[in-house]
Amino acid sequence: MTSKNIHAEGLNEIPTPMKKIEIVERKGIGHPDSVSDALAEEVSKALCRMYRKEFGHVLHHNTDETQIAAGEAAPKFGGGYIIDPVYILLVGRATTYAGEGASRKDLPCKPTALKAAHDYLQKTFPNLDVDSQVILDAKLGMGSDDLTGIYSAGKTLANDTSFGVGYAPYSVTDRLTLQTEEFINGKMKKKLPETGQDVKVMCSRVGNEVTMTIACAMVDKYIPDADHYKSAIEQMYDCVTDNALKIIGGEDINYKLEINTGDDYARGNYYLTCTGLSQEMGDDGSVGRGNRCNGLITPYRPMSMEATSGKNPITHIGKIYNVMSKIIADEIAEKVTNEAEIRVRLLSQIGKPVSEPLNASVQIVLPNAESDPHLSAWKSDAESVAEYWLDNVDKVSDMIIDGKVRTF
């Protein structure tokens, strides 16, 4: 154990990628929960920039309660229409003014939040008319005295007794899940604009058999009829399969893909949308209900239930420690050993320095880890990596504010 309560240990266990079963999910950027995460994070980053401009440093805020209430739409081949716009409520706490009396300065928190959300939606979802198909609202009020007091103290103090979790490296199932969604919402869009941004990828691995299930909202205005819809799905199948085989590379994996399994062509059921987003009708969204900060939902790995997006990047453990745990795990896997599964858990106490966790656990997971001759050196190096990042909390905060790390 180090002075920062860092505990590195070997764990005699079969790493998850070596086990028989693995399930991994990613909710794509257009899923309502991911849209909620993104908007919460964009608002937080915009407030950080505004606070820095006005005061030179970030003030207290948490904007991690964004809610999306689905609208109503009438999609059809060739192009339908929106009946009732989506309602998006940006909810949270923010420092809305500074100073007292004659020196009080009111701050444009709500306009800053609304502009950040509007700009993100407009930039990210080309089939969505933000001005006519979305109602944006913001409810941002001052935080409680106890938490703002902790925030304003001289040192960077934890605002909660909570923990963060990370693991590394990604398994082939992880990479297939994450990189497939990124491919569909990236390079593939040029070839297949028929595909919307609301994409969910689920991978099930049993032994070396991986079954990938994709749900992809299709954009009606690009699809004149049922035959075109079927053709677009077939083209998507080929594109995704080619990309998946590149991800798998030389690994011994048998790959199977299924797309939009809820379709029933005989009954005329198709996953059609006007905007490429299921939030247009019947699918609500909330912050923290989707991907963890590594971009995935991983029931066979350690996970935190804490939402990462929207929390302030200075004192909120739900953000700082989740992001930092992933950074530490990634660096240990890269620089210390890629032979093992690395698991990192960081636990704080409210009011105590963020750089001094109550418990910083690093587990090096191998079937015979405790008898491995390299374990002693691995543990020492792993502790050094963890200590470095705990000593440099401000670097993690800057990476978050600058958008250099993902939060969903």
Reported as a single tens digit per residue, the pLDDT across 24-48 is 999 999 999 999 999 999 999 999 9
Give the whole-angstrom CA distance, residue 52 versus residue 57: 4
DSSP 301-355: S----S--TTB-TTT-HHHHHHHHHHHHHHHHHHHT-SSSEEEEEEE--TTSBTT
CA dist 179 → 26, 184, 296, 356, 399 (Å):
10, 9, 11, 35, 22
Fold of 6-24+160-171+288-401: GMP Synthetase; Chain A, domain 3 (3.30.300)
**Does 225 score more than 90 pLDDT?**
yes
CA dist 277 → 74, 191, 219 (Å):
13, 19, 9
Taking every pair of Cα atoms in the chain, the longest distance, rounded to a whole number of angstroms, is 71
Give the whole-angstrom CA distance, residue 170 versus residue 185: 20
SS3 286: strand
Domain edges within the chain? 6-24+160-171+288-401, 32-152, 173-284
One fold for 6-24+160-171+288-401 and 32-152: yes
In this prediction, residue 324 carries a pLDDT of 98
Place of tokens 């990828």: 201
Looking at 3.40.50.720, 3.30.300.340, 3.40.50.20, 3.60.20.30, the CATH number of the domain 173-284 comes to: 3.30.300.340
> Is residue 343 a contact partner of residue 329, using CB atoms and an 8 Å limit?
yes
Torsion from C-alpha of 187, 188, 191, 196, nearest 10 degrees:
-120
Beta bridge pairs of residue 163 = 347
In this prediction, residue 312 carries a pLDDT of 96
193 falls in which pLDDT band (50, 70, 90)?
very high
> Is residue 127 a contact partner of residue 276, using CB atoms and an 8 Å limit?
yes
Could you name the CATH architecture of 32-152? 2-Layer Sandwich (3.30)
Mean pLDDT in the chain?
Answer: 95
**Does 147 score more than 60 pLDDT?**
no
Give the whole-angstrom CA distance, residue 13 versus residue 82: 52
In this prediction, residue 266 carries a pLDDT of 96
Beta bridge pairs of residue 22 = 205
268 falls in which pLDDT band (50, 70, 90)?
very high
* % pLDDT > 90, the chain: 94
Q: Which residues are within 8 A (CB) of 212 and not within 5 positions of it... i.e. 6 or more apart?
A: 176, 177, 180, 201, 202, 203, 240, 244, 255, 256, 257, 258
Residue 64 exposed, middle or buried by CB count within 10 Å (0-12, 13-18, 19+): buried
SS3 97: strand
**Does 128 score more than 90 pLDDT?**
yes
**Does 148 score more than 70 pLDDT?**
no
Q: Which residues are within 8 A (CB) of 384 and not within 5 positions of it... i.e. 6 or more apart?
A: none
In this prediction, residue 15 carries a pLDDT of 97
330 falls in which pLDDT band (50, 70, 90)?
very high
